[in-house]
Structure 1
Amino acid sequence: MTDRTILCFGDSNTHGTRALATLDSQGRFPRAERWPQVMAAELRDGWEVIAEGHPGRTTVFDDPVEGSHKNGLTVLPALLETHRPLDLVIVMLGTNDTKTRFSAPAFDIAKGLERIAATIRLSGSGPDRGAPGVLLAAPVPVVETGVLAPMFAGAAEKSRALAPLLRDVAGRLGTGFVDLGGVAEVDPVDGVHLTAEGQAAIGRAMAGAVQAMFS
Structure 2
Amino acid sequence: MGHHPGTRNRLAFDKRWPMVLERALTARGSEVRVIENCLNGRKTVWDDPFRPGRNGAGGLAEAIELNAPLALVVIALGTNDFQATHDISAWMSAQGVGRLVDIVRQAPIEPGLPRPDILIVAPPRIEEPKGDNIFKFVGAARRSEGFAGLLQAAAEAKAAHFFDMNGVTSASLVDGIHLDEDQHMAVGEAMAPDVRRVLEMG
Aligned length: 196
2:65 counterpart residue number = 81
> What corresponds to 1:93 in structure 2?
77
Q: TM-score, normalised by structure 1?
A: 0.85
* C-alpha displacement of 1:132: 1.0
Partner of 1:19: 5
| Corresponding letter in the other structure for 1:149 | I
Q: Which residue of 1 aligns with 2:194?
A: 209
| Runs of 4+ with >6 A deviation | none
Residues 37-62 of structure 1 show CA distances to partners (whole Å, capped at 9, x for unaligned) of: 10000110410110111001010001
Alignment map for 1:1-215 (pairs within 5 Å) = 13=1, 16-21=2-7, 25=8, 27-44=9-26, 45-67=30-52, 69-125=53-109, 128-143=112-127, 144-215=129-200
The structure with more strand, counted as a fraction of residues = 1
Q: Tell me the TM-score normalised to structure 2 length.
A: 0.91
How has the CA–CA distance of structure 1 residues 114 and 176 changed in structure 2, closer, same or farther, with 3 Å as cutoff? same
Amino acid at match of 2:78: G
- Mapped to 2, the partners of 1:127 and 1:88 lie a distance apart of 18
The gaps in structure 2 that reach 5 residues or longer are none
Residue 124 of structure 1 deviates from its aligned partner by 4.9
Preserved CA contact (<8 Å) 1:40 1:47: yes
SS in 1 for 2:153: helix
Q: Deviations over 1:66-111 (max 9, x none)?
A: 22x1001012112111111111100000000011111111111010
Q: Using the alignment, how far apart are the partners of 2:106 and 2:139 within structure 1?
A: 34
Counterparts in 2 of 1:150 and 1:180: CA distance versus 1, 3 Å: same
Residue 115 of structure 1 aligns to a residue whose secondary structure is helix
Q: Which has the higher contact order (CA 8 A, sep 6+)?
A: 2
CA distance in 2, matches of 1:125, 1:159: 34
Say if 1:85 and 1:128, in contact at 8 Å, map to a contact too. Answer: no
CA-CA distance at 1:126 after TM superposition:
8.6
User: Residues 157 and 182 from structure 1, CA distance in 2 versus in 1: closer, same or farther, beyond 3 angstroms?
Assistant: farther
